[in-house]
Every structure is written in structure tokens, then in C-alpha cells.
Structure 1
Amino acid sequence: MTSSSLDNAMFGLFSTHALHLADKHGVFVHLIEEGAATPDRIAAARRIDAETLERLLLVLAAVSVVERDADGSYRLARALVPSFDPQNPRYIGGFVRHLVTNTTGQLQQLDAYLTRGKAAVDAELPSPFETIYRDEAATGAFLEAMWQLSYGVSHELAQLAGLEDVRHLVDVGGASGAFAVAALGRYPDLRVTVYDLPQVGPFLERTRDEQGLGERLSFAPGDFFREALPAADCLSFGYILSDWEDKTCVELLRKAYDACASGGRVLLMERLFDEDGGPLATAAQNLSMHVETYGRHRTAEEYFGLLREAGFTDCAVHRSTWDKHLVMGRKP
């Protein structure tokens, strides 16, 4: 008899794919809009195979994503409705799709990393960001996943940041503007510049137009390894430093220090390890960082060390109710 923890570890592959397929084929939307339903009824409405659907729903019931009634109908667990509602900021469908269609395949590299080392294996491969931004479709899929991973929590992070005294924020690697939009919505006197690779520009401009932000949201194309960062009262890095090794992080933070006004701040928004090595989501994403980027996740104290090495002081951490948190440093 296996324990539940071992079962979850062994069979997580199946539940992740079941999540993805149920979201892709509108099963969760059907349960949200119509309430409890049998597999036959859902399958008829969504024009999918009933037997395959029932097997997927049994897996999702076993991990408590859906609940199975005595009459054989299924309902989505109430607490998880926001996570599978495409209209809700907590929607995770795009990120789950990224895990299945991108991350899963790349995890196969771990065997080679174990036997030959990451540096030797990666030397034979294109850089991670060449793969991520290889064409417009791949860029769009990645940015959508990052938006879904970041937009909901960004509202809380913007509040925790306390930007009432900031007039200009530069969001370094800000993608299609999840944190920028949240911050602009909370602080009416704020102006935000998203600094990212040129191919991100059209997606940021689309966000600006859809959100009606006009001149308050602008885009600055560039490569933070080759150029200085734009000057600002405050600079932010969301899920950026976890892409890079410590030495590179310090180099980027020194550029932020040079660009930051005296008395200004830098914001780091990242998953954080607890001192005991958890939680699971951070540990799993830390493994993902190993194959998808050059970085890793860290504790708050480790980020404090990087900030201090770059010259920042008064370091502090503000934890959100989500799994992304805020680490801050100030330029004297």
C-alpha cells in the first residue's frame, strides 16, 4: 500500500495533463456555468468523448479538483472556481498549458544534466530565451502564461510596495505589463515604463490599448546585458532574477542601482523558498528554472545578500497571500 504522498509524487503527471485537457476543452467552464453534470452531459455539450472525459474526471476527483456526487455527476470544487474561470485574475489555464506543452518536454534534459552537467549539455542547445522568443506565436504563448501567473498577485504586490511617493517606475523585463497595469490602477499619479526585448513591444502596446492607459504606460526596447537601464524613482524585477545565477543578478542590480534615484527603491517579485526548503510550488519551479533558464529560486535572505552586494540597503520582505512575494531594497 503506497502513501498518499508517494501517490501524488508518482501520478502527478496524470493530474497535470487532466487539468490541461479539462481546461482546453471547456469542461471547467461548463461546470462553472451549468453546475454539477454527468460526463455524458458535459461531453455532449462540449462535443468530446464521454468515456475519456469520465476517466479524466476520476483523476481530478482523486486530487480533489472536482467532487463526484452519488448520482455520478461532477462539480468543480468551490474554492478552485477562480483558478479555472478564464475571466478571473486567478485563472491558471495558460500556465498549466505552458507546463504541459513546454516544460514537460524540457524536463527530459535532467537525465543528461545528471550524467554530464548542465553546462556541457546546454552548450549544444540554443539559449532558453532564443527558444522562448523564437517566433511571434511562441512569444505570445509565453507572455500569456506569465500574465496569468502574475496579474492576480500583482494587485497585492503593488499595494505592498507602497508606491504613493513614486512618480516613475521602470519594470525591467515587465513582459506584457501585468505588474505595470496593477500598479497604474492603484496609483493614479504613477507612470510606468516596461523595459524588455523588442519583440515584446507589440504585446505591451496591445495591453496599453486594451487597458486604456495611454501615455501612463510606455515601452522601452532593449537588452539589459548590453545597455544601461532607464532612470526612474523605482525599478522592479518580476520573475527576472530567478532566471540567472548570482553573479549575473548582482550585475543587473548594480545597473538598477545606477538607474535609481537617490532614496529610490528596487522591487524584486519572486517565489521564495522557506528555510526548510519548501513549499512544493517553489521547489518544482526551481527545478523548472534549471532546464528552462540559467537561474534558481532563493530565500529572502539570499536576495538580501544580492541587494546589499549591489549597494542597496534597508532590505525587507513583504509576503503576499499568493506564492509570489516582494523583496525590497533602497538606494541611500
Structure 2
Amino acid sequence: MYATHALNAADRHGVFAYLTRHSGDTAEKLAAALAVDEDSLERLLRVLSAFGILDAEGGRYALAAGVRPYVDREDPRFLMGFVDHLVGDTTGRFARLDGCLRVGKAETDRGGPAPFESLYRDDESVGRFLDAMWGLSHHISHELAALADLGGHRRLVDVGGASGPFSVAALKAFPELRSTVFDLPQVGPHLTARAADHGLADRLDFTPGDFFRDPLPPGDCLAFGYILSDWDDETCAALLRKAHEACLPGGRVLIMERLFDDDLGGPLATSVMNLSMHVETEGRHRTAGEYLELLRGAGFTDGAVRRSTGDKHLVIGHRRTESGTGR
């Protein structure tokens, strides 16, 4: 609890932004530069130092080795947006675990808002959530796009693609590719801004819609980046059937998710997020085999698993050609 809140406070009050530009400084100088209380700041800095986030030498504080990418807003590995989401959103919802344990999830959730209603309640909330998802997804998306080998595709449909972390990575790796992010209307301005920031406005577009009510845009590759873990098996099966209908003959569907080991004994990050999905959404994390079975049930063939060096991996299914043979 203290580590997470200390990280969040340091980010919000500019500690990391300052230390990414300076080699290190005393608490007194930091407090003056950031216009914060010196005593409170020094207590915070000591916590961060004890946790190994900062180095403290001769009364001067600096980022510890290897920390900068995760606290520097200019780095694609920046994670403080996700930390902000944990503090601002997840912490409050985690209290629902008590009800889930006592009476079950269905009864605990009865009469409450749908999973994404609170996250999308206003533009500020939408922005904070999308920033969190970008921070978690964009860096590993470069590796996942390479694993997907999209060179033979022309139209990617990024289902629930948020502000485009996977689309941006894919478009930069494959110059002939174009991508459409399909997501709720509130996401549109954020996707447009992100596309402009990365010089992709002519190749990355947005289609507003609700994937429960609306058909998916057609494409020769449809991607679900950390979407299916938000929903139960029945919902995932329905979404994949929609993807099969929208996928051009010979095309593919990509599922990008954390995967449980076959014996469900880990990894730790997957186990933690599986519990988080229980209190924040209606979903769960699965094994590679479970996703392959969902793909087969939706009509996809030749399922394959490609593992990244991180904790998120790729599961692929193929749509048969018109003749029903081959890919």
C-alpha cells in the first residue's frame, strides 16, 4: 500500500519529472523547486529510497539504476499512469472483494454500475484509464506486433483498441498496414490525438461503436488486446464469433493477453490481475489452451501461441479461405 501510494504521490507532485532532468539534489532544493513542504517531501523520499526507487547519497536523491524508463513520461515504458489507475480506481473497487467472498460476485455486483461505467464516467476518467492502458501495453506491443508478423495484412481492426497502443506499434513496424480502432465514442478524441502525436493520422482511424451491439468493421486481421480477460467465457465466445464474421477469408484474429501456466500455478502477475478482473470487471485470465478452445468454437482454425519475453503473449487463429481449405 505505501509503496504504491508513495510512487503515485511522487509522480503527481513532479518528483520523478524533476529527477529525470537532474542528476540528483537535496530534499531542500527539491522542495523549493517543486513548491512543496520540505519535511513531508523528505519523508516521502526516504520511503522511495528504502524501496529502492531512489538512491540517497550524501543527502542527495537520484533515481536508482534501471528506474528511469518507468517514471519518465517520455519513455514508452512509463508506468505511472497505471499506478495512478491503481490508486484512483482499483483501490476503491478492491473493497468489493469482501462482498464477493461472502455472497459471491453476482450478488455483490447486483444493482451496481457496469464494469466500465465508472471508468468512462467523464472525460478525465476516460483519459486516466486510457493513459494507464497505454503505459501497460505500448512497450510490449512492439514485440507482439513483430510476433504477429503483419507484413501480409492490409487492414487491422483493433477491437476495443483504446488510444491505440497496439495499432501504433503495428503501423510503425509495417508501413503498408492501415488500422481502425473500434471502441466507444468517448475514446475517439484520445485516439485521434495519439495518432497525430505519432505521425499516423493518415493510417490510423477510429470507428465508434459498442462491440456488444454493433457489427465489427471488416478487416483481414482483427486484434483483441487485453479485452477478452474483461469478460466471461460466453461473452468471449460471442465476440470471437463476431470477429469471425468480420474477418476476411484467409485473415487472422490476434488475442493478446497474460496467460496462466497450464497448471494455473502462476505467473504472479497473471494471478494478481486475475483477482483484479474479478473485482473490476466480469472477466478472468485463462491458459493458452482455453483461448485456443474459444477460437475453435468461433470457427477459427490453425491456432498458435507465440510467447513474448514479457508477461503478455499472443494467441492466433485463422479464418479459412472461401473454399474452406487452407488459410
Query: Same fold, TM exceeding 0.5?
Result: yes
Query: In the alignment, which residue of structure 1 is the partner of 2:317?
Result: 329
- The one-letter amino acid paired with 2:260 is F
For 1:190 and 1:92, how far apart are their aligned partners in 2? 28
Higher helix fraction: Structure 1 or Structure 2? 1
Q: 1:94 to 1:114 in 2, by over 3 A?
A: same
Q: Deviations over 1:19-72 (max 9, x none)?
A: 111111111222222113232222222121222222222322232222232x23
- The one-letter amino acid paired with 1:227 is D
Q: Deviations over 1:248-288 (max 9, x none)?
A: 10111111111112221111111222345323322222221
- The one-letter amino acid paired with 2:123 is E
Moved more, 292-301 or 202-211: 202-211
1:175 Cα deviation from its structure 2 partner: 0.9
Query: In the alignment, which residue of structure 1 is the partner of 2:306?
Result: 318
For 1:280 and 1:64, how far apart are their aligned partners in 2? 21
CA contact (8 A) 2:259 2:288 kept: yes
Q: Which of 118, 121, 132 is the equivalent residue of 2:108? A: 121
1:167 aligns with 2:174: no
1:155 aligns with 2:142: yes
Moved more, 212-221 or 91-100: 212-221
C-alpha RMSD of the superposition:
1.5
CA contact (8 A) 2:134 2:165 kept: yes
- The one-letter amino acid paired with 1:193 is T
Query: In the alignment, which residue of structure 2 is the partner of 1:272?
Result: 259
Query: In the alignment, which residue of structure 2 is the partner of 1:216?
Result: 203
TM-score, normalised with respect to structure 1: 0.91
Q: Which of 37, 45, 55 is the equivalent residue of 1:57? A: 45
Q: Deviations over 1:126-173 (max 9, x none)?
A: 112111111222112111211122111111111111000001110000
Q: Which of 263, 267, 287 is the equivalent residue of 1:299? A: 287
Moved more, 214-223 or 250-259: 214-223
CA contact (8 A) 2:192 2:201 kept: no
> Equivalent pairs: percent with the same residue?
58
Unpaired stretches in structure 2, ≥5 consecutive residues: 321-327
Moved more, 303-312 or 164-173: 303-312
For 2:5 and 2:127, how far apart are their aligned partners in 1? 21
1:289 aligns with 2:269: no
For 1:287 and 1:302, how far apart are their aligned partners in 2? 18
Query: In the alignment, which residue of structure 1 is the partner of 2:324?
Result: none
For 2:62 and 2:130, how far apart are their aligned partners in 1? 31
1:133 is paired with a residue whose SS is coil
Q: 1:50 to 1:273 in 2, by over 3 A?
A: farther
Q: 1:57 to 1:281 in 2, by over 3 A?
A: farther
Q: 1:55 to 1:278 in 2, by over 3 A?
A: farther
- The one-letter amino acid paired with 1:86 is R
2:229 is paired with a residue whose SS is helix
- The one-letter amino acid paired with 1:303 is Y
Query: In the alignment, which residue of structure 2 is the partner of 1:242?
Result: 229
